[in-house]
Amino acid sequence: MGNPLGVHALVWTGGWAPEDAELAISSTAKAGFDLIEIPALDPSRIDIADTKQRLDAHGLKAGFSLGLTFETDINSEDSACVERGRATLMSALEVARGVGSSYLGGVLFGALGKYPAPVTDRARANSASVIKELAQEAARDDIVVGLEFVNRYESNLLNTVQQTLDYMDVVDEANVVVHADVYHMNIEENGFRKPLLLCGDRLGYVHIGESNRGYLGEGTIDFGEVFEALADVDYTGPMTFESFSSAVVDPQLSNTLAVWRNLWSDSMDLATHARAFISDGMKRARDTRGQRAQ
Ligand code: MN
């Protein structure tokens, strides 16, 4: 049994006007993926009915992701800031619900960006309290909330699996899962196997990206170790390919992620290569595991 495989919309386009949505959704289907991850940093730019109709027409599912800004940071001691973040998250949840998606993930727990100082207890408590409320609201429609821990330059709150599990214990809601991204793990963890085993069944979503966020296999990430660990925890959830190049720009997200270089320009070649790389890699890992068990 295989994992649902997805691709981030920014592989295709940086906008979400109807023609952008059509390009991204039809290309995702054509490349053989099961789902598309749609960035919802500004939930108001997504036309819910139009997006749903195009997904249905191409037989695709969607997940939504976002990171907050420092103006909407719930990982803050400023209550006005926290309230703005709460409103953004609830709007994003409305979009996911309206489109019929079962996944909302990303840096939901705070701002996506470099903080000038370490996290404080009060800011962390504010963050966990809003995420608890979001999860309870999401549970009404069986929507899973994924916490994507990221590298130190993109959050001061959750940089590792262990920190994410500890934070999840505070939130204490069953529909909150770990969203692991190997690009970030490559920077912050001592390896891939131990932290992925530590997640166990609390792992709910995986981003597959290279160390330079380009073509899979051309960087330094040990994907053999990643895929074997995922097979060993019997991970059957979504695996979404994430890659960024200056060839495709989202005015908001690309600058936040420091996408300055052109790592590719042929989106379809990149995406079909990634799909085969992930699918073949997971099959190999499961076969190896099966042989060891015999
Ligand atoms: Mn990611």
Q: Are 149 and 158 in contact (CB under 8 A)?
A: yes
Characterize 186-206 residue by residue with b for buried, 16 or more Cβ atoms within 10 angstroms of its Cβ, and e for exposed. bebbeebbebbebbeeebbbb
Q: Are 49 and 38 in contact (CB under 8 A)?
A: no
In this predicted structure, what is the pLDDT of residue 1? 62
**Cα gap 201→178, rounded to integer Å:** 9
Please give the structure tokens belonging to residue 43.
């939930």
188 catalytically annotated: no
In this predicted structure, what is the pLDDT of residue 149? 98
In this predicted structure, what is the pLDDT of residue 178? 98
94 catalytically annotated: no
Burial class (CB in 10 A: 0-12, 13-18, 19+), 249: middle
In this predicted structure, what is the pLDDT of residue 293? 77
Q: Give the closest residue to 170 by CA, choosing from 205, 206, 119.
A: 119
How many whole angstroms from 57 Cα to the centroid of ligand 1?
27
How many whole angstroms from 269 Cα to the centroid of ligand 1?
20
**Cα gap 77→198, rounded to integer Å:** 31
Which residues pair with residue 177 across a beta bridge?
A: 146
Burial class (CB in 10 A: 0-12, 13-18, 19+), 140: exposed
Q: Are 205 and 180 in contact (CB under 8 A)?
A: yes
Low-confidence ranges of the chain (pLDDT < 70): 1
Burial class (CB in 10 A: 0-12, 13-18, 19+), 104: buried
- The one catalytic residue in 154, 189, 210, 242 is 242
In this predicted structure, what is the pLDDT of residue 251? 86
- The one catalytic residue in 148, 154, 210, 228 is 148
How many whole angstroms from 294 Cα to the centroid of ligand 1?
36
